[in-house]
């Protein structure tokens, strides 16, 4: 037992030296996750802060000016044009000068003073449906606020039903709070899968894998020695992304570090199992690189990072059960934002354990079969 442990430690040391001996490799391993986290944190956001809009105000009343002042002062909308006639609307939208056009009718204030409904037409550029939908939601919120203020100021009956919204775990509904914790699993899997898949391919390409086979190492020991360095580097990368989330983006961490890294450890075990299974069928580093990226794309698309799982067709929802990244993202977000404990992570930990068991067993069989 001691001799086997010493052999595994020697192989781990050899793998770490092979990975970290090249300065370019060190920079490739540690720098990209931090840079990618910063890019995603700033660029991959669904929050709007600079929505261009044009106005066709046919009323020119105090009420219409008050409504438009709310839009201009919201910090979200930027007025780019004041239109004189309805025929100008098409040109503004077609030429992408404005995402929205707000049209206020001639009798806007008169209808409000009479206690009647007054329509405000909002024309949106639907070529970017997500952005347009979000912008329309912002306009609706401003109009609801305007209605309540107008009714109170003019002694009119308030709407019988008012909605008070409160967002748990993300009070300001910032996309960054949802995106950056999810990157802990996403970026870590990319690097871990790539390193593990290329480790055996590097040995075969350099001709040292055959030398490894004539040593006293058993197949299981070789597999463990290849897996642990990737898990160590994956843990370091996850920690660096966690630090960026807390120190740079200042997203409050509500959970337990022990709970988070326990879940991530099981996820890394599953990711390493996939990488080892992949490395057992490739012969060159180029193949390992290509196959890794072929796997990473569907893993990312079926993880819930960009598209909610509930929006996917049922067959794809079932396919996500074999995707370890899906459960890693759920663990990272729930522990980071909700602060839940291990007792409530069973639905995520069990599929990861099953995936790790299947992939590691398959990789061990492939290694043993290939060696024999």
What are the backbone angles phi and psi of residue 250, rounded to the nearest 5°? 55, 45
Q: Where are the domains of the chain?
A: 2-44+174-371, 51-153
Give CA–CA dist 150/63, Å, rounded: 9
Local structure of 80: helix, strand or coil:
strand
Taking a C-beta distance cutoff of 8 angstroms, is the pair 72, 118 a contact?
no
More confident residue, 262 or 368: 262
- Average the pLDDT over 281-286 and give the result: 81
**Cα three-residue angle 101-104-106, rounded to 5 degrees:** 145
- Average the pLDDT over 312-339 and give the result: 93
Q: What is the pTM of this model?
A: 0.82
Local structure of 157: helix, strand or coil:
coil
**Average of per-residue pLDDT values in the chain:** 86
For 51-153, CATH gives 3.40.1710.10
pLDDT over 90 at 21, yes or no: no
Residue 337 is predicted with a pLDDT of: 93
Residue 159 is predicted with a pLDDT of: 63
From its phi and psi, is residue 124 left (phi > 0), alpha (psi between -120 and 50) or beta?
beta
Written as six digits, the tokens of 126 are 């639907």
Please write the tens of the pLDDT for every residue from 36-63: 888 888 877 777 778 999 999 999 999 9
What are the backbone angles phi and psi of residue 172, rounded to the nearest 5°? -95, 5
Give CA–CA dist 355/270, Å, rounded: 6
Give CA–CA dist 299/239, Å, rounded: 22
What are the backbone angles phi and psi of residue 104, rounded to the nearest 5°? -110, 125
Give CA–CA dist 277/7, Å, rounded: 22
Q: Which helix (H) or strand (E) holds 54?
A: strand 51-57
**Cα three-residue angle 258-264-266, rounded to 5 degrees:** 105
Residue 164 is predicted with a pLDDT of: 67
Written as six digits, the tokens of 59 are 């009323």
Give CA–CA dist 262/50, Å, rounded: 41
Virtual torsion, Cα 131, 335, 29, 224, nearest 10 deg: -140
Please write the tens of the pLDDT for every residue from 189-204: 988 888 888 877 777 7
pLDDT over 60 at 109, yes or no: yes
């Amino acid at each position: 037992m001691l001799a086997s442990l010493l052999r595994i430690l020697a192989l781990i040391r050899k793998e770490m030296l092979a990975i970290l001996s090249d300065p370019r490799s060190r920079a490739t391993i540690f720098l990209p996750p931090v840079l990618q986290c910063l890019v995603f944190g700033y660029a991959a956001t669904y929050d709007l802060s600079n929505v261009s809009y044009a106005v066709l105000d046919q009323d020119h009343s105090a009420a219409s000016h008050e409504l438009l002042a709310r839009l201009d002062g919201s910090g979200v909308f930027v007025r780019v044009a004041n239109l004189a006639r309805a025929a100008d609307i098409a040109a503004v939208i077609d030429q992408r000068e404005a995402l929205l056009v707000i049209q206020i009718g001639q009798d806007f204030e008169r209808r409000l003073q009479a206690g009647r409904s007054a329509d405000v037409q909002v024309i949106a550029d639907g070529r970017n449906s997500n952005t347009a939908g979000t912008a329309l939601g912002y306009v609706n919120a401003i109009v609801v606020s305007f209605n309540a203020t107008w009714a109170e100021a003019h002694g009119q009956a308030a709407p019988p039903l008012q909605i008070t919204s409160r967002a748990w775990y993300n009070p300001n509904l910032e996309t960054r709070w949802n995106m950056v914790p999810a990157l802990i699993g996403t970026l870590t899997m990319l690097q871990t899968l790539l390193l593990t898949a290329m480790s055996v391919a590097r040995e075969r390409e350099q001709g040292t894998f055959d030398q490894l086979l004539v040593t006293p190492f058993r197949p299981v020991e070789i597999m463990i020695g290849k897996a642990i360095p990737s898990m160590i580097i994956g843990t370091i990368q996850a920690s660096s992304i966690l630090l960026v989330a807390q120190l740079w983006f200042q997203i409050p961490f509500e959970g337990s570090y022990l709970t988070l890294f326990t879940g991530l450890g099981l996820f890394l075990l599953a990711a390493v199992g996939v990488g080892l299974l992949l490395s057992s069928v490739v012969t060159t580093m180029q193949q390992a690189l290509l196959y890794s990226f072929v796997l990473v794309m569907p893993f990312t698309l079926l993880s819930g990072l960009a598209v909610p799982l509930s929006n996917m067709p049922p067959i794809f929802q079932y396919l996500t059960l074999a995707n370890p990244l899906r459960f890693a993202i759920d663990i990272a977000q729930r522990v980071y934002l909700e602060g839940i404990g291990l007792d409530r992570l069973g639905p995520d930990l069990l599929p990861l354990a099953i995936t790790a068991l299947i992939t590691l067993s398959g990789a061990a069989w492939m290694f043993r079969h290939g060696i024999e």
